[in-house]
Amino acid sequence: MLTTKFQLGDLVYNRDTREDGLIRRVYERNGATMYEVALPRMKDSWGRGYCISDWDENVLQLSNNEDLKSSPLEGGLRF
């Protein structure tokens, strides 16, 4: 069973890349917990869509980006 620090829908901050993103999927790769994360194309808004990236759990913390938390998810994110 996979034990994780974060869940689907959590907004997280990557300390290495200095980016915020929304967790779409959680999986394991080579014994490490990994997250598929939606990254907004604009730093503090989902208005221009998003890209997808895979992040290792060890570089993440919960995000405190209030602008991104309150930005509407235009078009919605698909989990």
Q: Is residue 4 part of a domain?
A: no
d(CA 74, CA 59): 27
Q: For residue 1, is it within any domain?
A: no
Q: Are 22 and 49 in contact (CB under 8 A)?
A: no
Number of domains in the chain: 1
pLDDT tens, residue by residue, 7-23: 999 999 999 999 999 99
SS (H, E, C) the chain: CCCCCCCCCCEEEECCCCEEEEEEEEEEECCEEEEEEEEEEECCEEEEEEEEEEEEHHHEEECCCHHHHHCCCCCCCCC
pTM above threshold 0.85: yes
Question: Residue 35 domain-assigned?
Answer: yes
pLDDT grade, residue 77 (50/70/90)? low
Residue 52 sits in which domain range? 11-70
> Which has the higher per-residue pLDDT, 64 or 74?
64
In a domain, 78, yes or no: no
In this structure, is residue 49 part of a structural domain?
yes
